Amino acid sequence: MSEKTSHENFLKSIRPHILMITNHGIHDWQIRSGLTDTGGQNQYVAALSGTLADFGFRVTTYNRGGFPDPMTSEPRTGSRYKDEHQRIVYLEGGGNQFIRKEDLDRRILDEEAAFAEKIMREENLPIDFIISHYWDGALLAGIIIDRMNLKAKHVWVPHSLGALKKDNFKGKPAEIIAPLKFDERIAYEKGLLSGVDAVASTSSDISRHLKESYGREAELFLPPCIETTKFHPIDDVAGITKIYDFLKETDPKTGVNVRGKTCVLEMSRTDRTKRKDVVVRAFAEVLKTNPDIMLLLRINLKSKEVAGEIESLVDSLGIRDNVVYVGMVPDNIMTEIFAISTVYLSPSEMEGFGMSVQEACACRRPVISSDLVPFAVEFLLKDTQEETIDTPDGKVTIRWGAGGAVIPAGKVQGFVHALKTLLDDNARRQEIAKTAYEITIPYFTWPNMTKRLLEEMGMEIPNK
């Protein structure tokens, strides 16, 4: 269906109309790796939009535009339709250059709101419900509501909070903290809270900081959820072929060596906070006693500084022959890369929830995570047993939950020990994977969670 036809059908539809606002970053129907401020939140918004469309709504998603695409140089203007029920509209404001989220301010958001108002008055579509994301999305929503005198209920999904990130960065050098503008962000967040009808928390960490630092209880819970068409177990691993072809292409040096090997997987975006160095160091240690294992490590080689550091580390440890650098995995084979992997590692030190860990669990794979991944800490540590080991850096306590293992952030030897344990104990590995899957599915699926949110906000679901 053409963009013109989709647009015409969208405008004349009688479906209830939901306005979604995800303002910063590069929001498209296909989320691309390596773009600044673009990743998990964009995937979340796209999945939520699709779920709402399946429920019988039409969804307009606002994203900041008016500047050239960083990869293609194509102007980010106008609208893009996924189908006749879902579209992204690019709001112009703040000039013709990309602006990172920390540098957005009220003046820029006012300009975007004026642009949105012009579109909304021309189209004259009803707005039945508003869902905003992150502080800038919520503030933009509030400005639009005031300008248009909208009566629709407004739910804010913060994804993170300035106070939470400020806590996570305690002890970091001032030159790292200053550009993140935590205090300015916290002030914006405190100001916008009085204008939202409800806050939908994505983790207990956010709920706790919301209450302790902002004096607000989260009324709703809408964590990142699983698209079960994309993430699910594959029992017949012998029948898998596409992922092997992909790995040969993405890393010709070692991708040809994966078939038949025991694989360890890490799939987060290329960022220092994901601590891929911990994965590499732990894998190198385990490789000494398990010489046939392979590490499938997602790396965006265009992120030259971070990727270069990881490549140098791999080379210095002499493990390049056992490491496959994985690029952006196509959606249609995403579940296959989990299926051919034996253990998933996530030593990340900055997570709003822990989507990659959740995805591994939905594919029935055991997880070893840092203690700064909320999903692992809050949901996988059922029936916890602690194991303390002696390391050259002192004692490290590993928490073994029924659905996964949790290691103190940055403790390489903790990851080494847990990885060795799971690789050597097939029965334990299988039991942890089974429990992790049962914790995740069907509770953490988009239809289940979205239905709960709509019902709690008193929204009628057209396609019951």
Residue with tokens 């079960």: 228
Give alpha helix (H) positions in 87-160: 106-123, 134-148
Using CA of residue 211, residue 216, residue 221, residue 222, what is the dihedral sign? negative
- Delineate the domains of the chain, giving CATH numbers in brackets: 3-225+445-456 (3.40.50.2000), 237-440 (3.40.50.2000)
Give the separation between CA 87 and CA 9, rounded to whole angstroms: 12
Per-position pLDDT tens, the chain of length 464: 789 999 999 999 999 999 999 999 999 998 887 788 988 899 999 999 999 999 999 999 999 999 999 999 999 999 999 999 999 999 999 999 999 999 999 999 999 999 999 999 999 999 999 999 999 999 999 999 999 999 999 999 999 999 988 887 888 888 888 999 999 999 999 999 999 999 999 988 899 999 999 999 999 999 999 999 999 999 888 889 999 999 999 999 999 999 999 999 999 988 888 999 999 999 999 999 999 999 999 998 778 889 999 999 999 999 999 999 998 898 899 999 999 999 999 999 988 788 899 999 999 999 999 999 989 999 999 999 999 999 988 999 999 999 999 999 999 999 999 999 999 999 999 999 999 999 999 999 999 999 999 999 999 999 87
Q: Tell me, what's the pLDDT at 31?
A: 85
Give the separation between CA 409 and CA 188, rounded to whole angstroms: 30
| pLDDT > 90 in the chain, percent | 84
- Whose CA is closest to 286, among 439, 445, 151, 415? 415
- Do residues 83 and 110 make contact, with C-beta atoms less than 8 angstroms apart? no
Give the separation between CA 326 and CA 344, rounded to whole angstroms: 14
Q: Tell me, what's the pLDDT at 200?
A: 98
- Whose CA is closest to 376, among 400, 343, 397, 412? 400
Give the separation between CA 24 and CA 179, rounded to whole angstroms: 16
- Do residues 233 and 339 make contact, with C-beta atoms less than 8 angstroms apart? yes
